[in-house]
């Protein structure tokens, strides 16, 4: 059994062939604050694959802090299209391109009740809105990195949506406000990771979330916290905290039925004066291993153990610190040309 250090230092612990590592890139509510970015989790496998599930606003600064090359991310998986789950799309896409990605970005996400509510429409309109941005980078950056491949799947049908390199990822419906949201189940080398996305507890999670080594499920702040700290009236607090989301007590009841090797709850403001009440509510029904997620919390999962730690990172990480030769040699398209009145105004002309 591998003995791990008390903290995780990115780049210093190669994964073994039977290990999985999950890093919280964003764990908070639909507001970005310094302590917690919006929802995002990174899954690293011992076979070399790396997956990101959701990329909410602010989360990508935590990804950059891990010093993982953008080129190494195998694929991006979207649970639903709320901004706090996909708000960093431009940073993932354009930032990844500028940061050294040498191939198309691949995204898997659900359809919607109508085409305009699906992942394909979301990506296409995002890409279209950044037309000037991307056009001005053409010729300076590797051509392939600007493209996005979207794999849209039926949100309503539990199914395997990804199967490569020994990894199986399944999607199943999540009950969250309206049609479209899903949860994910990743299976690899005998290990199981389940990520709920946003959902109130449902039979879908009972059916597809069993047997998890690591289960990350949402739990909002308590009704009393939403009223006292967010200023919500009782009706709004109940609607947001228990109908649109899972309350801590409800999440605890679900965990008691699922009994994962380790459970993680996210999507609440995790403060010194909120966490104890949240945990008390969960513990009314669930007595198993539990973490209340914080940004840059890390879980190392092996057949023998599931270990929780915090990552130690720098605030001044640079992307693309490796594989410079491939980046320099990658094919570029022809650069666009500015109007002559602009080029003629350059004081210190430079070569192309």
| CATH label of the domain that carries residue 128 | 3.60.15.10
- Rounded to an integer, the average pLDDT of 97-102 is 92
Return d(Cα 280, Cα 34) in angstroms, integer.
Answer: 26
User: Domain for residue 10, yes or no?
Assistant: no
User: Domain for residue 321, yes or no?
Assistant: yes
User: Domain for residue 1, yes or no?
Assistant: no
Binning pLDDT at 50, 70 and 90, where does residue 321 land?
A: confident
Return d(Cα 18, Cα 302) in angstroms, integer.
Answer: 6
Check if the beta carbon of residue 310 is closer than 8 Å to that of residue 295: no
User: Domain for residue 352, yes or no?
Assistant: no
Model pLDDT for residues 283-319, shown as the tens digit of each residue: 999 999 999 999 999 999 999 999 999 999 999 988 7
Select from 179, 180, 146, 183 the least CA-distant residue to 161. 183
**Residue 248 predicted with pLDDT over 70:** yes
For residue 33, the model assigns a pLDDT of 94
For residue 352, the model assigns a pLDDT of 58
Which ranges of 180-283 would DSSP assign to H, the alpha helix?
203-208, 223-229, 234-238, 248-258, 275-282
Select from 132, 128, 164, 162 the least CA-distant residue to 148. 128
Return d(Cα 263, Cα 252) in angstroms, integer.
Answer: 10
User: Domain for residue 112, yes or no?
Assistant: yes
User: Domain for residue 302, yes or no?
Assistant: yes
Model pLDDT for residues 180-211, shown as the tens digit of each residue: 999 999 999 999 999 999 999 999 999 999 99
User: Domain for residue 5, yes or no?
Assistant: no
**Residue 280 predicted with pLDDT over 90:** yes
For residue 350, the model assigns a pLDDT of 80
Select from 182, 160, 255 the least CA-distant residue to 216. 255
Number of H helices, E strands in the chain: 12, 15
Return d(Cα 297, Cα 24) in angstroms, integer.
Answer: 5
Model pLDDT for residues 255-274, shown as the tens digit of each residue: 999 999 999 999 999 999 99
Select from 347, 302, 317, 276 the least CA-distant residue to 191. 302
Count CB neighbours of 101 within 10 A: 28
Please give the residue range of the domain that contains residue 289. 20-342
For residue 2, the model assigns a pLDDT of 61
Tokens in use for 4?
A: 């791990």
Lowest mean pLDDT among 138-142, 146-150, 277-281, 302-306: 138-142
**Structural domain tally of the chain?**
1
**Residue percentage of the chain with pLDDT more than 70:** 99
């Amino acid at each position: 059994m591998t003995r791990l250090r008390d903290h995780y230092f990115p780049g210093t612990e190669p994964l073994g062939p039977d290990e999985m590592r999950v890093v919280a890139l964003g764990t908070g509510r639909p507001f970005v604050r310094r302590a917690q970015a919006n929802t995002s989790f990174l899954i690293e496998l011992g076979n070399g694959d790396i997956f990101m599930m959701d990329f909410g606003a602010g989360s990508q600064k935590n990804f950059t802090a891990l010093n993982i090359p953008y080129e190494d991310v195998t694929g991006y998986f979207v649970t639903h299209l709320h901004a706090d789950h996909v708000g960093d799309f431009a940073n993932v896409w354009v930032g990844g391109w500028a940061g050294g990605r040498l191939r198309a970005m691949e995204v898997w996400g659900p359809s919607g009740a109508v085409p305009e509510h699906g992942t394909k429409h979301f990506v296409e309109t995002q890409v279209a809105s950044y037309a000037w941005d991307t056009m001005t980078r053409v010729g300076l950056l590797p051509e392939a990195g600007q493209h996005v491949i979207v794999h849209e799947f039926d949100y309503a049908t539990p199914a395997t949506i990804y199967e490569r390199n020994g990894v199986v990822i399944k999607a199943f419906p999540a009950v969250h406000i309206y049609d479209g949201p899903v949860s994910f189940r990743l299976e690899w080398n005998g290990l199981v990771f389940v990520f709920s996305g946003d959902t109130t507890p449902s039979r879908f999670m009972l059916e597809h979330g069993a047997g998890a080594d690591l289960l990350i499920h949402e739990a909002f702040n308590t009704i009393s916290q939403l009223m006292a700290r967010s200023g919500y009236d009782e009706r709004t607090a109940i609607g947001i905290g228990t109908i649109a989301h899972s309350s801590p007590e409800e999440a605890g009841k679900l965990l008691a039925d699922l009994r994962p090797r380790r459970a993680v709850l996210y999507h609440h403001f995790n403060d010194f004066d909120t966490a104890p009440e949240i945990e008390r509510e969960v513990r009314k029904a669930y007595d198993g291993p539990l973490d209340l997620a914080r940004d840059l919390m890390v879980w190392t999962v092996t057949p023998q153990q599931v270990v929780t730690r915090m990552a130690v990172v720098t605030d001044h990480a640079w992307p693309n610190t490796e594989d410079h030769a491939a980046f320099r040699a990658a094919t570029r398209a022809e650069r666009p040309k500015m109007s002559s009145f602009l080029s003629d105004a350059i004081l210190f002309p430079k070569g192309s």
